[in-house]
């Protein structure tokens, strides 16, 4: 690959499309397993303590979603995939070099899913739900982006 082909200008719309496409390359099946295990453990701990309700159920689902998006997003920025490794090399390279843009995708999805979960299953107010969703999304963004940055530094 020549130096001139590496410096091609990419529009902001194309960057968003690349970020979404890169995020889809993550190891989402293993992420689903980790999320289900984490949510199940959270729910089991509350049941052992004798607590149950829709708030506890929504908390367990939220933990499962948080783990799901963290593991899947981190795998996407590191270039791991549950699919074939030979495909999409350029897209994986782009994801490794732009971890914060890729991290925005699972963070946004975490925000939306957390808001929906809490609005449907709890009696939290709308602004409280937005606040909780924002900080959960920020946690996912920090984990995924941080893993991408430290993973890139470690490779060099």
What is the pLDDT at residue 52?
80
**Res 1: pLDDT:** 42
Rounded to the nearest 10 degrees, how much is the dihedral formed by the CA atoms of 79, 83, 89, 90? -80
pTM over 0.75: yes
Q: How is residue 87 annotated by DSSP? A: S
Distance between CA atoms of residues 136 and 25, nearest Å = 22
Asked whether 22 and 92 are in contact (CB, 8 A), the reply is yes
Q: DSSP character for 24? A: T
CA 89 to chain centre: 21
Q: If you compute the radius of gyration of the chain from its CA atoms, what whole number of angstroms results?
A: 18
Q: What is the pLDDT of residue 3?
A: 44
pLDDT of residue 90: 79
- The residue ranges of the chain whose pLDDT is under 70 are 1-10, 81-87, 152-156
User: How much is the pLDDT for 35?
Assistant: 96
Nearest to 144 by CA among 116, 107, 94, 109: 107
pLDDT at 76: 87
Predicted pLDDT of residue 11: 78
């Amino acid at each position: 690959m020549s130096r001139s082909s590496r410096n091609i200008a990419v529009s902001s719309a194309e960057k968003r499309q690349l970020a979404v496409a890169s995020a889809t390359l993550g190891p989402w099946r293993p992420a689903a397993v980790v999320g289900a295990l984490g949510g199940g453990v959270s729910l089991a701990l509350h049941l052992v303590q004798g607590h149950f309700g829709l708030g506890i159920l929504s908390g367990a689902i939220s933990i499962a979603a948080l783990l799901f998006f963290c593991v899947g997003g981190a795998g996407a920025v590191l270039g791991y995939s549950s699919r074939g490794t030979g495909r999409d090399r350029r897209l994986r390279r782009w994801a490794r070099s732009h971890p914060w843009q890729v991290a925005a995708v699972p963070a946004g999805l975490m925000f939306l899913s957390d808001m929906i979960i809490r609005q449907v299953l709890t009696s939290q107010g709308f602004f409280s739900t937005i606040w909780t969703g924002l900080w959960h999304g920020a946690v996912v963004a920090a984990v995924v982006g941080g893993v991408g940055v430290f993973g890139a530094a470690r490779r060099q």
